[in-house]
Amino acid sequence: MFKGSKFKKTTLFVTTVSLLTLAIAFGVQRRCAAQGGGNDYQSIELFTDVLAIVKKSYVEEVDTKKLVYGAINGMLTSLDPHSSFMPPETYKEMKIDTKGAFGGLGIEITVKEGILTVISPIEDTPAFKAGIKAGDQILKIDDKFTKDLTITDAVKRMRGVKGTKVTLTIMREGFDKTKDFVLERDIIQVKSVKYKVLDDGYGYIRIAQFQEKTDDDLEKALQGLQADKNQLRGLVLDLRNDPGGLLDQAVRVCEHFVPEGKLIVYTEGREKDSQMRFTSRKSHKQGEYPIVVLINSGSASASEIVAGCLQDHKRAVIMGTQSFGKGSVQTIIPLADNSGLRLTTARYFTPSGRSIQAKGITPDIVAERVEIAPTSEKKEGMHIREKDLENHFEGDKKGEQDDKKVKPAPYKTDEMIKNDSQVLRALDLLKGWDILKSMGKLPS
């Protein structure tokens, strides 16, 4: 854990109501209404008057708690898309979510320009398999229009019993009209970290979300890539469609690659506890091998912290497309009746002082993902070479042997990676770095 009283409450970078979070309880101080002046007192008096009128005169009897919950939720949603009120059931689910297992469709959502919008689908979930993409606008959930729905209400409608179905009406850039996607609910098991060897000496690590054990899982992945004393020559760190998660895990991920004492991220807010600075601590550090970080429009919050930190310290090349741009900090505050308050309390900044809010991280190398068509033997056969010409003469046998030695090997990774243009471009960049270094063109 981090040192100091700042960590008596867990500060989270939350992108949606279903984002993985963990709260450490702390007291909520009551402030006197009159402290803010007569206007505050009059506003509270107005609220109690309306509450009394509704209780007395509404056509049907209304539960007081329902009215209060509705008023609190309305108050918070009027602030920004990420502040919200969580009734006891929702708050309980939120605490379960941070463990990496929860029910639903596997979609991270937000409200963008008044429209319910997908930040990213979570890998290997119903949403991901159905083809839901970052930036999709959800216009209807079953037969209910989402225009007047809060994020909390939208999540409630998408969650349900495993095996049941829900229809999402989607509008996407490039669509002529809306399209219905029928998804079957499932128990979402989110694996935070995956890794594999791309080619000899080149590793690939994918962080899907920042959960409680992300740092531990990353450590195991790095050890796995360097098993049997293999030396990493380069690493592709994939943060695409990573919607964020726990702040402390983002910081710890950076600590693997950033020298001790270097600033990782800092936050600024009105209260003292919202003004924090996180620096890299003494721990096991990785070697100085080159790193390429992949991001896209689905990379948000904690993943933007990691990308921004490594970019500012010139520890990695950032490749891909502009990230989502969520630079605000949410704090989870437990309330007396087991409900919870998710409140935006600060903004975060990269080590160089950049605010990511509404802008995102700009890649060093812009690389759109494109579909790679399988190699066609017919197309290859259209090219004529010297050996195809009539009466060509053969080279010497030694030349043939040398040619076989230098023949480039195909990528040794799996088919999924072979069809991923951004990963392959990142791998080529790492290999190019190695080649230039061997030529003495780059510092060792």
Measured at the CA of 285, the angle between CA 279 and CA 289, to 5 degrees, comes to 115
Judge whether 34 and 48 are in contact, CB under 8 Å: no
Is there a catalytic annotation at residue 49? Answer: no
Is there a catalytic annotation at residue 312? Answer: yes
Q: How far is CA 381 from CA 139, 364, 384, 385, 411, in A?
A: 49, 37, 8, 10, 22
Which residues does 225 contact at the CB level (< 8 Å), separation at least 6? 195, 197, 203, 205, 232, 235
Longest dimension (CA), the chain: 103
Instruction: Look at residues 108, 98, 100, 109 and name the one whose alpha carbon lies nearest to residue 187.
Output: 100
Residue whose structure tokens are 């009027």: 78
State the catalytic residue, choosing from 312, 323, 328, 420.
312
Is there a catalytic annotation at residue 326? Answer: yes
- Return d(Cα 208, Cα 108) in angstroms, integer: 12
State the catalytic residue, choosing from 120, 192, 299, 301.
301
- Return d(Cα 418, Cα 61) in angstroms, integer: 63
Instruction: Look at residues 254, 222, 248 and name the one whose alpha carbon lies nearest to residue 235.
Output: 222
Q: How far is CA 213 from CA 129, 144, 192, 252, in A?
A: 25, 37, 8, 11
State the catalytic residue, choosing from 186, 303, 326, 339.
326
Instruction: Look at residues 17, 22, 148 and name the one whose alpha carbon lies nearest to residue 85.
Output: 17
- Return d(Cα 142, Cα 122) in angstroms, integer: 21
Please identify every residue annotated as catalytic. 301, 312, 326
